């Protein structure tokens, strides 16, 4: 059984409309998760270690103020298009669209005010919560009125995140959740002792602004071969890698499949990622620098968390040979990602 509770979390600043932000607490025997109506943010995610002790394994803030300030998308749903679009530009049906540039020369995670920075309306479900918003035609430069539903449901050890959308005009869309995990517990120094595997035979090399070059490269014989579990710290050293911020190309198909697994030997915590999406961005928190005060006054230095963002491939709107990122009127965007927590 999953218990669902809703409570007040804070009020938006007056210049942001001053609406009330709610927190939804989903609790099963083995997982407890807190989700905000602001940005659909996973603010807390507690799971058991092998001794049955709960710890919060996601980075974030104790108060709403932390989330309304600038931060690296902790726990949030990002969109209309997750990841990067080169030069913030794309053409559609002969028309050129220019987006806000918020990541060097590129547009990242929806632009200046993406889905992570807005208040969503919420509906409590028996085992979760469903959020809704209408992204109006022209918001952040994107075409079409886009109706978006994000549904979190908790069933035992499994947290499911379902994304649905409908549009009035053809538009690119790629939604993901940007939770930062540390299975040792948030505030732990690094994730070097985590063992990571990703079920991908290829990945996307990127240029120095993190835009895919267009090549789909085999992982075989490279530091990107994570098909067998690797201990992260030793692996980064062995291949002289500063970290990961790359899309791994998943086996195509609409069915649920296991795409990544992370194991933390000291606590026994294991997290599996299952998804219907064509890609997963593996990010090792390379841009964290210890400057943000997180939950319990924790600081978050470089490599103190990892993200496994299930999504379409970055810059797919400008790369015709990448998986289709366009949603047309009359169609439905519908993807689900499942996070499964266990101990070993």
Parallel/antiparallel/unpaired status of strands 20-27 and 31-36: antiparallel
For the chain, how big is the Rg over CA atoms in Å? 19
User: Is 178 in the active site?
Assistant: yes
User: Is 321 in the active site?
Assistant: no
* Cα–Cα distance measured from residue 303 to residue 325, given in angstroms and rounded to the nearest whole number: 30
Provide the terminal-to-terminal Cα distance of the chain, rounded to the nearest Å.
23
As to burial, measured by CB atoms within 10 angstroms (0-12 exposed, 13-18 middle, 19+ buried), residue 135 is buried
* Cα–Cα distance measured from residue 62 to residue 74, given in angstroms and rounded to the nearest whole number: 12
Edge-first strand order for the sheet with 158-167 is 121-125, 128-135, 146-155, 158-167, 333-343, 269-275, 257-264, 195-198, 230-231
φ, ψ at 107 (rounded to 5°): -100, 135
116 marked among binding-site residues: no
Residue among 109, 178, 246, 303 flagged as catalytic? 178
49 marked among binding-site residues: no
Residue among 34, 139, 140, 309 flagged as catalytic? 309
DSSP alpha helices (H): ranges in the chain? Answer: 64-68, 232-238
The 3-state DSSP class for residue 96 equals: strand
Length of the chain equals 344
φ, ψ at 175 (rounded to 5°): -110, 145
Contact, 285 vs 263, CB < 8 A? no
The 3-state DSSP class for residue 115 equals: helix
245 marked among binding-site residues: yes
SS (H, E, C) 97-111: EECCCCECCEEECCC
Strand partners, 89: 98
Nearest to 273 by CA among 324, 200, 332: 200
180 marked among binding-site residues: yes
* Residues assigned a catalytic role: 178, 309
- Please give the annotated binding residues, written as ranges: 83-84, 178-180, 245
- Please give the annotated binding residues for beta-D-galactose, written as ranges: 83-84, 178-180, 245
């Amino acid at each position: 059984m999953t218990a669902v509770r809703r409570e007040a979390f804070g009020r938006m600043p007056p210049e942001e409309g001053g609406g009330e932000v709610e927190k939804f607490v989903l609790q099963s025997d083995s997982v407890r998760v807190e989700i905000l109506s602001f940005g659909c943010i996973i603010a807390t995610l507690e799971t058991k270690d092998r001794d049955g002790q709960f710890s919060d394994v996601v980075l974030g803030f104790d108060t709403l103020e932390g989330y309304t300030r600038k931060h690296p998308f902790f726990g949030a749903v990002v969109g209309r298009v997750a990841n990067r679009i080169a030069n913030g530009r794309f053409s559609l049906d002969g028309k050129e669209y220019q987006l806000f540039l918020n990541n060097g020369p590129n547009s990242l995670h929806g632009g200046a005010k993406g889905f992570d920075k807005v208040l969503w309306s919420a509906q409590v479900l028996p085992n979760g919560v469903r959020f809704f918003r209408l992204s109006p035609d022209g918001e952040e430069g994107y075409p079409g009125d886009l109706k978006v539903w994000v549904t979190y449901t908790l069933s035992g050890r499994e947290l499911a995140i379902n994304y649905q959308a409908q549009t009035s005009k053809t538009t690119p869309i790629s939604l993901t959740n940007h939770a930062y995990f540390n299975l040792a517990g948030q505030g732990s120094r690094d994730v070097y002792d985590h063992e990571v595997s990703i079920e991908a035979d290829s990945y996307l090399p990127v240029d120095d602004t993190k835009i895919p070059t267009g090549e789909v490269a085999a992982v075989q014989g490279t530091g990107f071969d994570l098909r067998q579990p690797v201990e992260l710290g030793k692996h980064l050293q062995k291949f002289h890698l500063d970290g990961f911020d790359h899309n791994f190309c998943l086996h195509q198909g609409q069915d649920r499949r296991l795409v990544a697994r992370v194991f933390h030997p000291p606590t026994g915590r294991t997290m599996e990622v299952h998804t219907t999406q064509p890609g997963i961005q593996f990010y090792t928190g390379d841009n964290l620098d210890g400057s943000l005060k997180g939950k319990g006054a924790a600081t978050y230095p470089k490599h103190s968390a990892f993200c496994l963002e299930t999504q379409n491939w970055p810059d797919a709107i400008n790369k015709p040979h990448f998986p289709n990122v366009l949603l047309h009127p009359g169609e439905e965007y519908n993807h689900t990602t499942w996070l499964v927590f266990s101990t070993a």
